[in-house]
Each structure stands twice: as C-alpha cells, then as structure tokens.
Amino acid sequence: MNPAALTLHDAGEKLRKHELSSQELTLAAFQRISETDDKIHAYITLCRDAALEQAKQADERLKRDGSTLPLLGIPIAVKDNFLTRGLRTTCASKILGDFIPPYDATVIKRIRDAGAVITGKTNLDEFAMGSSAENSALFPTRNPWDGERVPGGSSGGSAAAVASDQCIAALGTDTGGSIRQPSAFCGVVGLKPTYGRVSRYGIIAFASSMDQVGPLTKDVRDCALMLEAIAGHDPADSTSADRSVPRYSEALTGDVKGLRLGVPKEYFVTGIALEVEQAVREAIRLLEKNGAAVEEISLPHTEYAVAVYYIVATAEASSNLARYDGMRFGHRAGGKDLLETYMLSREEGFGAEVKRRIMLGTYALSAGYYDAYYLKAQRVRALIKQDFDAAFQRCDAIITPTAPTTAFKIGEKIEDPLQMYLSDIYTISINLAGVPALSLPCGFDANGLPIGMQVIGKHFDESTILRLAYAYEQATEWHRGKPRMED
Amino acid sequence: MKLTREEVRKVATLARLHLTAEEEERLTEQLDAILRYMEKLNQLDTSRVEPFTHAADVVNAFREDKVTNRPNAEALLANAPDKDQTFFRVPKIIE
C-alpha cells in the first residue's frame, strides 16, 4: 500500500513506531502528485523542497524525543487562500499577482507548530467564490472519481488532493459550503466548525460573518485530530471564541445510543436526486437501528436561505475586496489618473464571478437599496438562526444531504449563476446560523460518484457531530472507497 | 422593476470596476434575474424581527494596546507594484 493512502491516525502511529519515516511519507505524497496531478490539477503551488526539509526535521525529532506532536511529519495540503509566509499565495486570482505573504495565518502557524509538512497550495474558486472550482483564474480542478466532473468548490483542490492521496489531510475554508460540498463530491470527510471556533487571522477574507476554517480528511478520526490542532482562541481574531478546546478524538465512542436526531422535511423536496435521498435515508435508518432516536423536524425558513446568503455574502465581499486597489500589493494597471488606475486594475485583476458578486453586494448596500436588500436579508437571517435554535431544543444533531446531487459536469452550470447558487441550498443555512456541520460519505450513485451526508450540530458542539459521524463510519465501508485514476 | 444599464454603470463606478460594454450588458441581465429571485424575501413579514448581528453571543474583545509585531518595511514593500525607498509610490491623489 502506498503510504500516502494512509489516514492521519494510521500514518502518525507508524511514524511514532518508526515503521515509516516522514521523508518516506512525504516522498510518497509527491510521487502521487507527479502521477496524478496532470489529470486532477489540485495544486496551484507545490513546495517539495521545503516539505522535504520539514519532513527531515520531523524525522530527527521523532528519533530524538519520541515527540507526540499531533501532526508531526504529516503531509498536509493548504487551500491557496491561507497566507503562508514566504510561499506564493494567489487566492486563484490574477489580482494578487505573485503575492508573497510576509506572515503566516494563525492556523498555518498552528499546524507548523504541531509538526505538519506543507505539501503545497491547492486550487479554489477565485476568492473562494463558487461551488465547482471552475472560477479559478488559473485552471479548473477535476474530480478524481470522474475527470469530466467538477470536484465541488470552493475548496475543490483540497478535496481532490485528499481523495487522490496527494496528501494525508488538507485545510479549507467554508463560507457557504466550500468545505462540505467538495468533500461530498470527492468522497472525503469535511468539517465546517462553529463560527469563532478557529481563527480567521491570515485567511483572505470573503464574507467575514461566515468564513470559517476547517479540515478535509480521509476519515472522521482524522477530522477530530485536525480540529484539535487548529481550534482555539486567537487574540489576533476578535471574533474567535475564548473557550477551551475539547479533546474531540475522545468523543469518538462508536456509540449513538440516546442521541436525538432531527431530519428536516424541507431538505427532502423537489430538486434532490433520488439516489442522494435514498442514500441519506438509508443512513438515517442505520443510525436509528443502532440506537439513535430519529424524528422529523421543520426548519421553516430554509427556502429563503439562498436569497439571504447571496445578499449578505456579496455585501460583505464587496467591502472586503475594496482593499484590492493596486496600490500596496497585487496587480496595478496603468491608468491616466488615480480613479482610472483603480478601475482598470480591478477590471483586469478580477474574474467574472468575483465581479458579479462585487456588483451584487455593492448594489445591495447602496443608497436606496440597503433597507430593501441588506437589512431585509439580516432580518430573515435572524429567522433562519431561530429555526436552528428551536430545532436544537428537541434534538442533538440534524441530518441532511450535503448537496442535492452528486458531482456535476464541468461547464454544466457555469453559464447560469443562479443555478450554481441554488446548488448550495443545503449548506448555506449553516453558515448563516453559525453552527458547525460536517459532510461524510454515505454511498455512491449509479455512476460510481460519492454521495455526502451532512451532520449539523449545536454551537460549539463539534464533539456530538464527530461522535455521530464516527459511529456511522464504523458501521459502514463508504469511506474506504478510492477513486481509480490509473486508467 | 427591471434593472437598467444606467444603474449597473452607476454601481460599477461605486465598486471601482471598469466594465466593457459586453460585461455591462451581461451583468444587467444576470443581476436582474438574481435580484428578482431575491424578491421572494418580501413574502415574509419581518417588521418585528431584529436584524441578525452575530452568530454567538459575544461581548467586545478587549486587549492591551501594545505592539506585538515588529514593523518590517522591507517585507511589506516586497509586494508593492511600485515603491521608492521605504514608501509606496502611487498615482497623484491631489491635483
């Protein structure tokens, strides 16, 4: 077995027992990259030399003091919207040019301190705006299960890299489903933590009231281990929560007895693919058989979530992206005066979807429309959050599909932005409410494409959704499936 | 009410985006369709709902006002499109 196909917990055990070195593991990951990435295009930037140096240091440390650092020697891929000191960061946009960050994001510092080996920076939809990774200004990433299909987005590169064993685990960001939907499409596990659980310092901002960092992994235990490594308060992010970080891996009991699960009826309506519905309902039956109590619940404002999200997220984005003015960093066009320089730099630097969202957000915030769009959306957002608050009075976790379909074809939705937005229908309410949710594999469709199930939890109760997901994973084999990329 | 090209042009200027005639036309059509979809929010009476402010109940996050990062002009200027010694060079702002 190729060591790069190992899970984080198995690889970590082998490293600590000296059955495998970090250098062997890192070389195996780069071997996979060279074999598969000309088809997948998961990575924008590779850092082989730096990674091998980090691996060498990890091996010395393992030999010297038998260190138990949680990520020591583990090759991890990072979405290219995390600032990485000295390592080019593009956000898959032309406007950043060859931006070399002068500092590390807090999460990058944490995984470095935990001993991780960074393999490279993965592709995304430009500024994390998209659901297919097709909006990358560089190139689209392809789904390892079917090269004609999208890997999902925006963390499509990270999901594809994990699915094709080009790394052991990866980091992504999730503003409206950008970790969970590509995880579902690529058959891996992905978690969006509670808003405030993980620091956003050094993450290139998209929509600041919803952006959150999280892991993409090969199984649920890896997901818990990664979250332990990255979660926690950061004085540099005033929205990060000053709460202790539980040992998430200790919540993985394999038992669901007594857990109360809610199944929202609004998530099983027109638009869902039959095979997706069947797989998720089958998973729910299995959890019930294993001792969970299942009841149908209602999240009545679900149908308004897409409209709310694409007002709030674009409004925040239009403000966040005002900083790209071509003055202090990034692309600067030649204009005859200051105004023209701004306008041409942004015209040349931003892609179509980013422009569309800046326009929509600027419109929603502009004089005369603020109350009708932005304020209205924030009022409905309060109702969406109340839906979750009420549901969590009755249940411990909520189960839904992650996406209404499996991976769609490259080019299928790119010309129709509204159709693309509607494909986020099951994931965006979670960001609007700020609650945590993860996606894990729960089956395959007739085309052999992975199906994802979403488990939603209470604020700061990642432990329960990890426990539930782990118990389901233990009872099934879906997570062991691997894409066949050789032919 | 249909979104007009004049409105799109006005918003583009507010957003400091130059648009080609073709972009202007396409965006007018696409934004109009998206804004129409968003009108579904008007089905809800929200007159007695307080707007959302934050996902969790948070209070102000105060900290000591002290410098924790050392200034490093060289690193910060390394990405500048144009610079002069330790300054960013920018187009003339005041006529």
Kindly state whether residue A405 falls inside one of the protein's structural domains: yes
Number of domains present in the structure of chain A: 2
Task: Give yes or no for A208 touching B (CB within 8 A).
Answer: no
Tokens at A431, concatenated: 């960001």
SS3 A262: strand
Question: A411 vs chain B: nearest CA distance in angstroms?
Answer: 17
Task: Give yes or no for B15 touching A (CB within 8 A).
Answer: yes
Residue A30 and residue A36 in contact, taking contact as beta carbons nearer than 8 Å = no
pLDDT at B18: 95
Residues A349 and A426 reside in one and the same domain: no
Q: Is the peptide bond before A244 cis (omega within 30 degrees of 0)?
A: no
Task: Say yes or no to pLDDT of B46 above 90.
Answer: yes
How many Cβ pairs closer than 8 A exist between chain A and B? 160
Alpha-carbon distance A161 to A186, whole Å?
Answer: 9
Task: Give yes or no for A142 touching B (CB within 8 A).
Answer: no
Alpha-carbon distance A475 to A468, whole Å?
Answer: 11
Alpha-carbon distance A453 to A443, whole Å?
Answer: 9
Alpha-carbon distance A426 to A267, whole Å?
Answer: 7
**Domain coverage including residue A377:** 302-381
Those of residues 353-372 in A touching chain B at CB distance below 8 A are: 355-356, 358-360, 362-363, 366
Among this protein's residues, is A79 annotated catalytic?
yes
Of A154, A249, A318, A439, the active-site residue reads A154
- Tell me the HSE value of B80 on the side-chain side, using a 13 A CA sphere: 16
Number of domains present in the structure of chain B: 1
Residues of chain B positioned with their CB less than 8 A from the CB of A327:
81, 88, 90
Residues of chain B positioned with their CB less than 8 A from the CB of A377:
38, 41
Kindly state whether residue A372 falls inside one of the protein's structural domains: yes
Kindly state whether residue B9 falls inside one of the protein's structural domains: yes
Element (H, E) at A451: strand A450-457
Tokens at A461, concatenated: 């109760």
8 Å CB contact of A363 and B41: no
8 Å CB contact of A311 and B49: no
Residue where a domain terminates, one of A349, A381, A413: A381
Residues A156 and A20 reside in one and the same domain: yes
CA dihedral (B44, B48, B53, B56) positive or negative: negative
Residue where a domain terminates, one of A381, A409, A444: A381
Alpha-carbon distance A241 to A232, whole Å?
Answer: 7
Alpha-carbon distance A227 to A394, whole Å?
Answer: 27
What CATH number should be reported for the domain holding residue B31? 1.10.20
8 Å CB contact of A330 and B38: no
Residue B39 and residue A369 in contact, taking contact as beta carbons nearer than 8 Å = no
Q: If chain A, 487 residues long, is cut into consecutive pieces of 10 residues, what is the mean pLDDT of each piece?
A: 95 95 98 97 98 97 86 98 97 94 96 97 98 96 98 98 98 98 98 98 97 98 98 94 95 96 93 95 98 97 96 98 96 94 97 97 94 96 98 98 97 89 93 98 98 98 98 95 79
**Partner residue facing B49 (CB), from A335, A338, A383:** A383
To which residue do tokens 């679900």 refer?
A302
pLDDT at B71: 76
Residues A150 and A64 reside in one and the same domain: yes
pLDDT at A486: 64
**Domain coverage including residue B34:** 5-42
How large is the ipTM?
0.95
Residues A321 and A371 reside in one and the same domain: yes
Residue where a domain terminates, one of A329, A346, A381: A381
What's this model's pTM, rounded to 2 decimal places? 0.97
Kindly state whether residue B33 falls inside one of the protein's structural domains: yes
Task: Say yes or no to pLDDT of B57 above 90.
Answer: no
Residue A252 has phi, psi (to 5 degrees) of -85, 80
8 Å CB contact of B56 and A195: yes
pLDDT at A16: 94
Q: Provide Rg for chain B, Cα atoms.
A: 23
Residue B39 and residue A306 in contact, taking contact as beta carbons nearer than 8 Å = no
8 Å CB contact of B31 and A363: yes
pLDDT at A324: 97
Kindly state whether residue B53 falls inside one of the protein's structural domains: no
Of the candidates A211, A318, A316, A418, the one whose C-alpha atom is nearest the C-alpha of residue B40 is A418
Kindly state whether residue B27 falls inside one of the protein's structural domains: yes
Q: Side chain identity at A433, as an amino acid letter? A: A
What CATH number should be reported for the domain holding residue A248? 3.90.1300.10
Kindly state whether residue A463 falls inside one of the protein's structural domains: yes
Residue A240 has phi, psi (to 5 degrees) of -80, 140
Strand A117-122 to A43-46 pairing = antiparallel
Residues A377 and A409 reside in one and the same domain: no
Residues A134 and A234 reside in one and the same domain: yes
Q: How far is CA B13 from the centre of its chain?
A: 12
> In sequence order, what are the residues at sequence separation of 6 or more whose Cβ sits closer than 8 angstroms to the Cβ of residue A408?
A132, A149, A150, A423
